[in-house]
């Protein structure tokens, strides 16, 4: 993918992105000059969230040249013959969090209200795809692509434009040979857990799992199984909710069955959450809002007083049935920062949940109000990888909605070749091409209305086949 290069926006996504309308309007540099003009070198690896790339591999590109002239650009594995530059001013912390779900403090940066992001694109691409560079100071900038952040150091900003173009001409063939340096190849598997509310005067939910097996270039198989199949460190757990009705009272219980991935045996000590007192009085409905290898988020609805509460539990320690305090998800810096949302949790510090927003899993708090009402609020923090290992969206949600406004939720494969969407009552898969998202979907499945995602997990390489064998066995 020619334009799939260094996208410089802490995106942990593919180097080529679709220009978003979010944030400050794009400003074209004066007189056609490049705002990142000059000869740069890659000075170090800042961050690597790419599941398929060993950080040791990057030693080979340290000190590699990256060159921007008024007409051309040379990046790690891309050459742009007829370049166009567009820039905008942003606040570092807000831009990285809102668009890419990244906490600037985790990278050791200082916040700045006055940093510039430059979009670097081919004039023939009609602004569909571009690379991004964030200039932090006169001699330092960042490049981002496919889960990788690289630091650039300015070597020479005064070199003649023709001389720089000469360096590009000498180096472009070697650069283009690198092709998929920051990409990922091979088998991929996507495990999607869905929840659908069924039509009833008393809410009830159906849970099921869809597993999509990809090759490098296409969809191979799609499997569906009832209940949630959750990948664990040593196998899979099957998770379901069982409803009991007795003497006119309703109570839901969570059932977790631990299956061995190779022997497909059910653990005789399966966790059964049957003690209604731990979730309130009898007459309690329980739904699963999120689940992953380590955590499960439950929402309880008390039919006696209409109170809805959120709780997150450690999936490996359900016996104690102790909910997790919001502090366990906060960094020390975040705890020291005054935050009105945290004050709203003082009366119930366990009233938190994990939800989908703009293509990311995020942490929310809930403040219960009289008469069964409540307010939910984003805690504005980046969840740690222990919650979800691939909480990334390689194309901003705003751009995906520009592609098709009916899309409710979306996922992009780690190699940025496939877009999986939930739109209306359909699950669809699209190819991502050099020119953008292919308008023709390659797979479609009816998933019904009122369907939400409660689990998303990616498997790469040999694990894609292991997961397929386990799901297919069921």
Q: Distance between CA atoms of 403 and 438, rounded to whole angstroms?
A: 10
Burial of 138 (0-12, 13-18, 19+ CB in 10 A): exposed
Q: Angle CA(408)–CA(396)–CA(448) in degrees, nearest 5?
A: 15
Give the Cα separation of 453 and 455 in Å (integer).
6
Torsion angle, alpha carbons of 181, 183, 184, 190, to 10? 170
Please tell me the predicted confidence (pLDDT) of residue 78: 81
3-state secondary structure of 421: strand
pLDDT of residue 109: 86
Contact 451, 459 (CB under 8 A): no
Please list the ranges in the chain whose pLDDT falls under 50: 1-31, 184, 260-281
pTM (whole model) above 0.75: no
* Contact indicator for 420, 410 with CB cutoff of 8 Å: yes
Burial class (CB in 10 A: 0-12, 13-18, 19+), 140: middle
Element (H, E) at 193: strand 188-198
The DSSP secondary-structure symbol of 92 reads H
Token pair in block for residue 103: 């906490």
Distance in angstroms (rounded) separating the CA atoms of residues 117 and 125 = 19
Buried b / exposed e across 81-120, counting CB within 10 Å, b at 16+?
A: eebbbbbbebbbbebbbbbbbbbbbeeebeeeeebbbbbb
Alpha-carbon distance of 221 to 74, in angstroms, equals: 39
CA-wise closest residue to 222 among 260, 187, 191: 191
2: which DSSP letter?
A: T
* pLDDT at res. 424: 87
Instruction: Please give the C-alpha separations between residue 366 and each of 326, 348, 353, 374, in angstroms, as whole numbers.
Output: 11, 9, 8, 7
Decide the pairing of beta strands 65-68 and 407-412: unpaired
Q: How far apart are CA 276 and CA 292, in angstroms?
A: 23
Question: Residue 230 corresponds to which tokens in the numbers above?
Answer: 């959750």
Helix (H, G, I), strand (E, B) or coil at 167: helix
Sequence-distant contacts of 327-332: CB under 8 A, at least 24 apart: 329/363, 329/379, 329/381, 329/383, 329/384, 329/387, 330/381, 331/103, 331/105, 331/106, 331/381
| Burial (Cβ within 10 Å: 0-12, 13-18, ≥19) of residue 265 | exposed
Structure-token pair, residue 223: 């499997």
For residue 368, count CB atoms less than 10 angstroms from its CB and return exposed for 0-12, middle for 13-18, buried for 19 or more.
Answer: middle
pLDDT at 474: 62
Question: Of 235, 191, 193, which Cα lies nearest the Cα of 213?
Answer: 191
Give me the residue label for tokens 């980046």: 382
DSSP 461: T
Tell me, what's the pLDDT at 201?
Answer: 80
Tokens standing for residue 209: 């799992």
Residue with tokens 């509460």: 309
């Amino acid at each position: 993918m020619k334009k799939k290069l260094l996208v410089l926006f802490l995106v942990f996504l593919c180097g080529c992105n679709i220009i978003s309308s979010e944030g400050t309007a794009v400003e074209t540099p004066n007189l056609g000059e490049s705002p990142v003009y000059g000869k740069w070198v890659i000075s170090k690896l800042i961050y690597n969230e790419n599941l398929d790339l060993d950080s040791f591999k990057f030693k080979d590109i340290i000190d590699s040249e990256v060159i921007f002239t008024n007409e051309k650009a040379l990046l790690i594995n891309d050459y742009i013959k007829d370049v166009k530059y567009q820039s905008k001013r942003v606040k570092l912390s807000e831009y990285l969090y809102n668009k890419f779900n990244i906490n600037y403090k985790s990278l050791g940066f200082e916040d700045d209200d006055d940093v510039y992001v430059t979009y670097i694109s081919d004039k023939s691409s009609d602004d569909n795809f571009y690379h991004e560079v964030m200039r932090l100071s006169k001699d330092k900038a960042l490049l981002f692509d496919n889960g990788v952040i690289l630091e650039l150091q300015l070597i020479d900003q005064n070199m003649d434009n023709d001389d720089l173009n000469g360096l590009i001409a000498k180096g472009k063939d070697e650069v283009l040979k690198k092709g998929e340096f920051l990409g990922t190849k091979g088998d991929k598997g996507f495990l999607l857990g869905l929840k659908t509310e069924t039509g009833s005067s008393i809410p009830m939910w159906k849970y099921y799992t869809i597993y999509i097996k990809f090759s490098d270039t296409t969809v191979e198989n799609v499997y569906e199984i009832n209940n949630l199949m959750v990948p664990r460190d040593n196998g899979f757990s099957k998770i379901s909710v069982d409803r009991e009705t007795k003497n006119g009272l309703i109570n839901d219980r969570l059932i977790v069955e631990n299956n061995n991935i190779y022997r497909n045996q059910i653990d005789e000590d399966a966790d059964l959450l049957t003690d209604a007192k731990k979730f309130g009085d009898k007459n309690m409905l329980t739904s699963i809002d999120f689940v992953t290898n380590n955590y499960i988020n439950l929402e309880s609805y008390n039919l006696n007083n209409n109170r809805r509460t959120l709780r997150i539990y450690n999936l490996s320690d359900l016996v104690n049935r102790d909910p997790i305090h919001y502090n366990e998800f906060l960094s020390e810096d975040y705890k020291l920062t005054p935050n009105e949302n945290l004050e709203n949790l003082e009366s119930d510090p366990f009233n938190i949940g994990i939800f989908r927003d703009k293509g990311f899993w995020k942490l929310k708090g809930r403040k219960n109000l009289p008469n069964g009402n409540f307010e939910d609020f984003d805690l504005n923090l980046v969840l740690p990888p222990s919650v979800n290992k691939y909480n990334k969206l390689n194309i901003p949600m705003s751009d995906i909605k520009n592609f098709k406004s009916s899309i409710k939720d979306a996922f992009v494969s780690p190699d940025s070749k496939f877009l999986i969407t939930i739109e209306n009552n359909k699950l669809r898969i699209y190819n991502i091409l050099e020119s953008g998202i292919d308008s023709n979907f390659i797979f479609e499945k009816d998933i019904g209305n009122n369907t939400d995602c409660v689990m998303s997990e990616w498997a790469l390489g040999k694990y894609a086949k292991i997961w397929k064998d386990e799901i297919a066995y069921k």
